[in-house]
Amino acid sequence: MIFDEIYTLNNGMTIPKLGFGTWFIDDHAVVQAVREAVKIGYRHIDTAQAYGNERGVGEGIRTCGLKRDDIFVTTKLAAEIKNYSDAVRAIDESMSKMDIDYIDMMLIHCPQPWGNYRQDKRSYDMGNLEAWRALEDAVKAGKLRCIGVSNFEQPDIDHLLSGCSIKPVVHQLLAHVGNVPHELIAYSERKGMLVEAYSPVAHGKILNHPIVAEMAAKYGVTVAQICIRYILQLGLLPLPKTGNPLHMKENADVHFVIADADMDVLNRLEKFTDYGEFSIFPVFSGK
């Protein structure tokens, strides 16, 4: 089963190969969503300070019936935090909101504040190093077990690596059929990071894509299952999000193999250019 499969991170820790995303699940609803996900078999829960649901995620984890050590929990440092003292405070606030003894992994959510996304790119280099130093100190204090990044580009990675003492274990990126940053993924992997793919179903925008729908019918699966399986076959870690227990089960039922020829078809799909309300996120031109 996919729930029994793991990746090994560059620090020797293991992480479940399939995660459960909680973006856009509100703080009240996420409590039961986490319980349902754990009941189905998920052992990897992903949240963020920006999602506004850390408290509910923590409650779901504490009341799901499993021991804390049985669940891998990720959260993300808010993109706007670019100094040491604010990062230290935010880490403690995440732990307090979730009411758990430690967090398995925390990521810098973005190299720039969302209001300045992909602008003034180098203006935040020192701020990212300050935030990273706070994450490193939290690892040394036992508050965090590992740390990583999200939405970074190659220069952001290079600058962070030039000044860090603990290397990032994960790089979380937008990646899905029709928008896979292959070059950035390869670069991240060369630097020792596992790449996680958030929104592997393209924020839901791919569900009616005729080519992907036809392929899903060919394999007797849903479009979402094709998309998640595609991400797994690229060697990435998918983080599908849903509050629906039926969809949670379907998203984990990916024990089929997409043929090489069909993977090539998916790799060559025209790039997505418009996510509607989600258009803040990047469309990569990588091959």
Q: What is the mean pLDDT of the chain?
A: 94
Residues facing residue 170 across a β-bridge: 194
* 117 noted as active-site residue: no
The DSSP string of 178-208 is: TB--HHHHHHHHHTTPEEEEE-TTGGGTTTT
pLDDT digits (tens, 9 = 90+) for 108-133: 999 999 999 999 989 999 999 999 99
Fold of 2-273: TIM Barrel (3.20.20)
Q: Which amino acid is at 131?
A: A
One of 51, 124, 187, 275 is an active-site residue; which one?
Answer: 51
Residues 238-258 pLDDT 10s: 999 999 999 999 999 999 999
Residue 79 has pLDDT above 90, yes or no: yes
CB 47 within 8 A of CB 54: yes
Rounded Cα distance, 187 and 154, in Å: 7
Q: Which residues on adjacent β-strands are paired with residue 238?
A: 197
Domain ranges of the chain: 2-273
Q: For residues 87 and 127, what is the distance between their CA atoms, to the nearest angstrom?
A: 10
Res 65 pLDDT > 90: yes
How confident is residue 273, by pLDDT bands cut at 50, 70 and 90?
A: low
pTM equals 0.94
